[in-house]
Amino acid sequence: MIKERENEGRTIVRRQKENPECLTRGCLEELQLKGLKKVSERVYHKVLFYKEAFRANGVKPEDIKNLPDLKRIPFTTREDLRARYPYGFLASPLSSLVRLHTSTGTTGKPKAVLFTQKDIDQAAQLITRSIKMTGAGPEDVFQNMMSYGLFTGGLIFHYGAERAGLLVIPGGAGNTERQIGLMRDFSTTILHLTPSYALYLAEVMERLGLNPRDDFDLRIFYLGAEPYSEATNRKIEEIFSVDAYDSYGLSEMNGPGVAFQCKQKEGMHLWEDNFIMEIIDPETLEVLREGEEGELVLSAINREAMPLLRYRTGDLTSIYPEPCRCGRIHRRISRIKGRVDDMFVLRGVNIFPSGVERVLMGLPEVGRNYQIILERKGGLDEMRVKVEVEKRFFRGSFQDLEKLQSDIKAKLKRELLVTPQVELVEPTTLPRTTGKAKRFIDNREI
Ligand code: DLL
C-alpha cells in the first residue's frame, strides 16, 4: 500500500514536470494540498505575522489535513503587507534573494515583493506556459511595451518570453514613435501592453500616417495590468486586426502569469498548480460558490521568498463552474470587473467604473478614451462622464451632437440606474497614458 502511494506520488511529480497544465483534477488537488501543507509549515516558523495569525485562529500547520482546512487560516491583506514593509513577510534568508519588485500605486508605501532565483524561474515558467497556450512560439517577434523596472510587467514577462524562444524587444513603456519604428523594422508580431496604451498606440500610428491593421505584422496582443471591458478588447482587436488575450496578475503573486486566456477566450485559466483560489464576499468574508461573484483570494503554494496565504487581492471576479472547451483542468476566472475599492456609491446606487466603460466602448460613435469625474454640488454627489467621440460630430450639425449626447446618457442610465452628466469632447483631448490608465477622478472631498 505504502509502495503504491509512493509510486503514485512519483507519477504525479513526473506528470507535472512533463505537462503541468494537463493533470487530472485529482492530481492537481493532491499537488495543491502538498504545497499548502509545506508552505503553511514554512511561514508558521519563519514569518512572525503568520505565527501570530495562526495562533490567533487556534490553528497549527499540522491541522491542515485537506484543502477545505485552508479556511482555518486567516486572511492576509494589503494593509498587513504595507505595515510590515519592507522585509516583514520574508520566509527565506536575505542572502537567497535576487530581486525586488514593487506594486504600482501612487499613495502610501508601496508593497515590496521579494524573489529568490527559484521564484523568478517559477514566474518565468508560468509566462512561458501562458505564451505557448496562445499559439506563440520561436517564429514570433515579441515587443514588451510594459514598463521595465520595479513594475513586474516588464522584467517578469520578458524572462518568460525568452524562455518560450521568442525574439524579445524590451521596448518598455513610452518612446512610442521609436517603438513603432522598431515594430516596422523588425516585423514585430506580438505586443504586451496595457489596453489603454494600446488605444494610444493606435492614435500615434495614425498620426504618423500608418494604418495599424495593414502597415504592421502584428497578430497577437497580450493585454493586462488594468481592468478593461470586453468591448474595449473587441475594439483593440478590430483596430489592429489581432487576437488579444487577457492576462491577469499582481506583484504580490509574482506579477503577470497568474491567470491567462486560452484560445477559447472565455475567462482566464488561473494556474492552480501554483495558486489556490477562493472567491469571498468582501463584506462577510464568507467563501462563495463557483459562479458567484466576489473578491479573489489567492494562496501562493510555490513561492519561496514571500509566500502569501489567503491574500485578499481586492479584485472582483467569479470562477467558471464548467470546464473549458480547451481541455485544461485549471479552472477559469471571469474578466476582472474592477477592484473592490473602485466601487463608489452615487445616490445610494453602487457603481463600478467598469459598467461605464462597458456601455461607452460598446458604442461605435465613441472614440478611445473617457473619464469619470465625481463632484459634490450643493450637497449632492454628481457624476460627469467626459467622452471622446468621433471627429465628424464636431464638424456636422449641432443636433447630431446633441442627439448622441442624450443617447449616451440614456444608455448609461439604463446600465447604472443613475443619470450622469455627459460631456462630449473631441478625439485625443483627454490625458493619455503608456501604463495603467487613471480614468476615475473623485473630486468629492475637495
Ligand atoms: O499589474 C501585474 C501585471 C503585469 C499583470 C502585466 C498583467 C500584465 P500590479 O501593479 O501589482 O501588478 O497590479 C495588480 O492590477 O490586483 C488588478 O487590480 C489589476 N490587474 C492586473 N491584471 C489585470 C487584468 C500587475 N487582466 C493589479 N484585468 C491587480 C483587470 C488587472 N485588472
Give tens-digit pLDDT for 392-423.
Answer: 999 988 889 999 999 999 999 999 999 999 99
* Alpha carbons 97 and 83: distance in angstroms, whole number: 21
Q: Reduce the DSSP state of residue 321 to 3 states and report it.
A: coil
Q: Tell the CATH topology of 343-442.
A: GMP Synthetase; Chain A, domain 3 (3.30.300)
Instruction: Using pLDDT thresholds of 50, 70 and 90, give the confidence band for residue 114.
Output: very high
Q: Does domain 1-334 have CATH number 3.40.50.300?
A: no
Task: Out of 77, 130, 315, give the residue to mutate to test ligand 1, the one with the largest number of ligand atoms within 8 Å of its CB.
Answer: 315
Q: Whose CA is nearest to atom 16 of ligand 1?
A: 250
Please give the average per-residue pLDDT across 134-147, as a whole number.
98
pLDDT of residue 23: 74
Q: Judge whether residue 105 has pLDDT over 80.
A: no
pLDDT of residue 4: 59
Q: Whose CA is nearest to atom 13 of ligand 1?
A: 250
pLDDT of residue 70: 98
∠ CA 297-299-301, rounded to 5°: 160
pLDDT of residue 7: 63
Cβ-in-10-Å burial (0-12, 13-18, 19+) of 46 comes to middle
CB-hemisphere CA count at 13 Å for 421? 12
Ligand 1 pocket residues where CB is under 6 Å: 103-104, 146, 152-153, 224-227, 246-251, 255-256, 313, 315, 336, 339
Are 334 and 318 in contact by the 8 Å Cβ rule? The answer is yes
Are 389 and 367 in contact by the 8 Å Cβ rule? The answer is yes
Q: Judge whether residue 246 has pLDDT over 90.
A: yes
Give the Å distance between the CA of 220 and the centre of ligand 1.
19
Are 434 and 174 in contact by the 8 Å Cβ rule? The answer is yes
Q: Judge whether residue 108 has pLDDT over 80.
A: no
Q: Judge whether residue 71 has pLDDT over 70.
A: yes
Please give the average per-residue pLDDT across 323-335, as a whole number.
95
pLDDT of residue 8: 56
Instruction: Using pLDDT thresholds of 50, 70 and 90, give the confidence band for residue 11.
Output: low
pLDDT of residue 202: 97
Please give the average per-residue pLDDT across 174-198, as a whole number.
97
- Better pLDDT: 263 or 348: 263
Give the Å distance between the CA of 246 and the centre of ligand 1.
10
Give the Å distance between the CA of 247 and the centre of ligand 1.
8
Give the Å distance between the CA of 257 and the centre of ligand 1.
10
Share of the chain above pLDDT 70, in %: 94
Are 261 and 130 in contact by the 8 Å Cβ rule? The answer is no
How far CA 40 is from CA of 84, 239, 279, in Å, comes to 19, 47, 20
What are the residue ranges spanned by the domains of the chain? 1-334, 343-442
pLDDT of residue 1: 53
Q: Judge whether residue 14 has pLDDT over 70.
A: no
Q: Which atom of ligand 1 is nearest to the CA of 151?
A: 10
Q: What does the block give as the cell for 4?
A: 503504491
Please give the average per-residue pLDDT across 2-7, as a whole number.
60
Q: Which atom of ligand 1 is nearest to the CA of 111?
A: 11
Q: Judge whether residue 335 has pLDDT over 80.
A: yes
Sign of the alpha-carbon torsion through 37, 38, 44, 50: negative
Give the Å distance between the CA of 321 and the centre of ligand 1.
23
- The pLDDT mean for the chain works out to 93
pLDDT of residue 446: 58
Cβ-in-10-Å burial (0-12, 13-18, 19+) of 223 comes to buried
* Alpha carbons 425 and 241: distance in angstroms, whole number: 26
Q: Which atom of ligand 1 is nearest to the CA of 105?
A: 10
Q: How many CB atoms are located within 10 Å of the residue 42 CB?
A: 17
Q: Judge whether residue 198 has pLDDT over 90.
A: yes
Share of the chain above pLDDT 90, in %: 87
3-state secondary structure 70-101: HHHCCCECHHHHHHCCCCCCCCCCHHHEEEEE
Give the Å distance between the CA of 311 and the centre of ligand 1.
15
pLDDT of residue 444: 87
* Alpha carbons 416 and 358: distance in angstroms, whole number: 11
Please give the average per-residue pLDDT across 299-317, as a whole number.
98
Are 252 and 82 in contact by the 8 Å Cβ rule? The answer is no
Please give the average per-residue pLDDT across 33-61, as a whole number.
97
pLDDT of residue 21: 62
Range of weakest confidence among 36-50, 70-84, 97-111, 304-318: 97-111
* Alpha carbons 146 and 116: distance in angstroms, whole number: 22
Q: Which pTM was predicted? A: 0.93
